[in-house]
């Protein structure tokens, strides 16, 4: 694998700005890596190689002229296929959309391009799509790369992309990041516009869904977040909140709660060890760490299932057992009350803590096959509360698979989640790049 394909996006941007590497070299290296690994992992489903190389050449010419450049000038990136791009088909897992090309980019994609990033292509989603075959985990081709931002996590882990844009409604950024061993952020709900996401959702219809970055390092997430965040005049649920500087957050004095056990979920010994290692890393950096778990976490699953059953113009039937009855209006009102109560309990808990550290899932990436809904017990609570969650690798399973942890902060303190995750990354990493079977 080319050395350029193992560097974080922050370093690639520095090399391009400093003329130590050209955008053409960086983009070309990643395209060659995709060509080498994609037949085995099936992560990239739409590729714009010729257009990307043409844009890379233009990016190099701009630097030669001394033009003003953006923070991601010449850096390649990829996008989950649920997020619209104006020059690539957006299937989003539906046969009916096999030839659908959106008229405009999703806001997050447009902002990445405006910052100088170069789109390589669209990535697969592990949702039983009739259009594309399933993606594979680069660490073990017989295992799942997670869902639903599966292709995004897989291609980053395999060295084919340094940075990606994905989405998370119940763990769809976090679980793939854990399965594939990459860094990721589910931002605070309402920080990044969901404009251009499919299904088309908004703050009222689905306050759980958040578009966020996936990358090779926590620093890359901190670079991408302010680029894609902020109101766009189209998503009415976005709040114009400032984003704090991760570098200004000090670990010393942070109040950290950590837990591993959940009702109906038994974590593996390696998952427990990884979570405790992350907590100890923060403690060594000066944080005040204690074992504590937010109350009523077990309610997150029935609340989420009730949300999926509600009458809606958005069909969630593919995630529901066949024959599930939809809820009446009275039921919906009752479950919205339960959701709001759940959020209040979390707010009260966070009065005593700045950070929560916990598993992403009970175990490492499972073999391909149906995923029980209990798999989401660790991630669902923080979708319902809308809190920011960073995922960072903190360990390895007995089979040699990556194990990530969630680093949760209060809403609008994405900087704290990223800063705490960066402490864990520095203490426990760096981890070896994924060697895809056959390399």
Query: Distance between CA atoms of 388 and 189, rounded to whole angstroms?
Result: 8
Q: Which residue among the candidates 172, 217, 300, 434 is catalytic per the annotation?
A: 172
Q: Which residue among the candidates 148, 169, 189, 217 is catalytic per the annotation?
A: 148
Q: Which residue among the candidates 22, 80, 217, 300 is catalytic per the annotation?
A: 80
- Are 270 and 365 in contact by the 8 Å Cβ rule? The answer is no
- Which residues does residue 44 pair with via DSSP β-bridges, in sequence order? 123
Give me 319's structure tokens: 């995630």
- Are 238 and 202 in contact by the 8 Å Cβ rule? The answer is no
User: CA-based angle 16:17:23, to the nearest 5?
Assistant: 30
Count the alpha carbons within 13 Å of 306 in the hemisphere toward its beta carbon.
Answer: 18
Q: Identify whether 122 is a catalytic site residue.
A: no
Pick the closest to residue 112 from 71, 150, 51, 152 (CA basis). 71
- Residue 344: partners with Cβ closer than 8 Å, 6 or more residues away: none
Q: Give just the sign of the alpha carbon dihedral 339, 345, 350, 356.
A: negative
Residue 397 phi, psi (nearest 5) = -80, 170
Q: Is 402 helix (H, G, I), strand (E, B) or coil?
A: strand
Query: Distance between CA atoms of 439 and 436, rounded to whole angstroms?
Result: 6
Pick the closest to residue 393 from 435, 356, 428, 365 (CA basis). 428
Query: Distance between CA atoms of 54 and 430, rounded to whole angstroms?
Result: 34
Q: Identify whether 80 is a catalytic site residue.
A: yes
DSSP state at residue 137: B
- Are 364 and 397 in contact by the 8 Å Cβ rule? The answer is yes
Query: Distance between CA atoms of 329 and 235, rounded to whole angstroms?
Result: 26
Strands 402-409 and 210-215: unpaired
Q: Identify whether 172 is a catalytic site residue.
A: yes
Beta strands in 202-282 (DSSP E): 210-215, 255-258
- Are 59 and 73 in contact by the 8 Å Cβ rule? The answer is yes
Write out the catalytic residue numbers: 80, 148, 172
């Amino acid at each position: 694998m080319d050395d350029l394909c193992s560097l974080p996006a922050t370093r690639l941007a520095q090399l391009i700005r400093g003329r130590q590497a050209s955008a053409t070299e960086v983009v070309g290296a990643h395209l060659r890596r995709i060509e080498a690994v994609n037949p085995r992992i099936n992560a990239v489903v739409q590729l714009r190689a010729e257009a990307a190389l043409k844009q890379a050449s233009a990016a190099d010419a701009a630097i030669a002229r001394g033009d003003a450049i953006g923070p991601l000038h010449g850096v390649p990136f990829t996008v989950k296929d649920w997020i619209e791009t104006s020059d690539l088909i957006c299937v989003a897992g539906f046969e009916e959309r096999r030839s659908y090309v959106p008229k405009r980019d999703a806001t997050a994609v447009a902002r990445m391009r405006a910052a100088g990033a170069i789109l390589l292509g669209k990535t697969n989603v592990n949702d039983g799509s009739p259009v594309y075959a399933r993606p594979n985990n680069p660490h073990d081709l017989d295992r799942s790369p997670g869902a639903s931002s599966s292709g995004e996590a897989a291609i980053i882990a395999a060295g084919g992309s340094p940075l990606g844009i994905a989405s998370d409604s119940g763990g769809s950024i976090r679980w793939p990041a854990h399965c594939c061993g990459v860094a990721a952020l589910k931002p605070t709900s309402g920080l990044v516009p969901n404009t251009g996401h499919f299904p088309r959702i908004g703050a009222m219809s689905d306050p759980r869904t958040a578009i966020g970055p996936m990358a090779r390092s926590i620093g890359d997430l901190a670079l991408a977040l302010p680029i894609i965040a902020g109101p766009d005049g189209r998503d009415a649920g976005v709040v114009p909140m400032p984003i704090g500087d991760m570098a200004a957050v000090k670990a010393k004095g942070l109040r950290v709660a950590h837990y591993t056990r959940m009702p109906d979920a038994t974590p593996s010994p390696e998952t427990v060890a990884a979570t405790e290692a992350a907590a100890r890393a923060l403690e060594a950096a000066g944080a005040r760490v204690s074992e504590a778990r937010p109350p009523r976490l077990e309610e997150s699953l029935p609340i989420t299932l009730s949300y999926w059953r509600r009458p809606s113009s958005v069909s969630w039937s593919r995630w529901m057992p066949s024959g599930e009855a939809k809820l009446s209006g009275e039921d919906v009102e009752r479950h919205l009350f339960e959701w709001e109560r759940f959020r209040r309990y979390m707010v009260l808990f966070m009065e005593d803590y700045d950070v929560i550290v916990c598993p992403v899932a009970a175990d490492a990436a499972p073999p391909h096959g149906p995923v029980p809904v209990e798999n989401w017990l660790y991630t669902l609570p923080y979708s319902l509360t809308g809190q920011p969650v960073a995922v960072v690798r903190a360990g390895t399973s007995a089979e040699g698979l990556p194990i990530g942890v969630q680093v949760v902060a209060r809403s609008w303190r994405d900087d704290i989640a990223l800063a705490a995750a960066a402490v864990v990354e520095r203490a426990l990493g760096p981890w070896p790049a994924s060697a895809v079977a056959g390399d």
